[in-house]
Amino acid sequence: MEAVTDWQDAGIDAIIWDGAPGHRAQEVQQLSPTLICQPPYAPELNPAERVFEAVRQEVEGIIYETLEAKRDAVDRFLHKLAAAPERIQSLTGWEWIRDAVASLLIPDTR
């Protein structure tokens, strides 16, 4: 819940949502970002899966001295991704997502 509130405060108006039980909670449904729901059992449609895949490609196959060292490697990579919005868009900005978000946009008439 706190993460969604933070996203909302950052200006994120819509969230691609899967059907996980925790996502169906009443308090989640009452949040103001628009929820774009995915069909059940469709992880290939979940943009986060593409990010997880990129993280795994970056950190797997390496022997780390400690679990913390591996966490640090993941954290460094996520910061690198965060600094490269074009990379995130290439991983997650599929046409069906862009179309769904575009259909939600209402021109500002002020």
| Domain range summary for the chain, segments of one domain joined by + | 1-40, 46-110
Query: Do 81 and 59 form a contact (C-beta atoms < 8 A)?
Result: no
Query: Do 49 and 31 form a contact (C-beta atoms < 8 A)?
Result: no
Residue 14, pLDDT above cutoff 60: yes
CA–CA gap between residue 92 and residue 64 (Å, rounded):
29
pTM: 0.55
pLDDT in tens, 49-63: 888 999 999 999 999
CA–CA gap between residue 43 and residue 50 (Å, rounded):
10
Query: Do 16 and 97 form a contact (C-beta atoms < 8 A)?
Result: yes
- Using pLDDT thresholds of 50, 70 and 90, give the confidence band for residue 48: confident
CA–CA gap between residue 105 and residue 109 (Å, rounded):
12
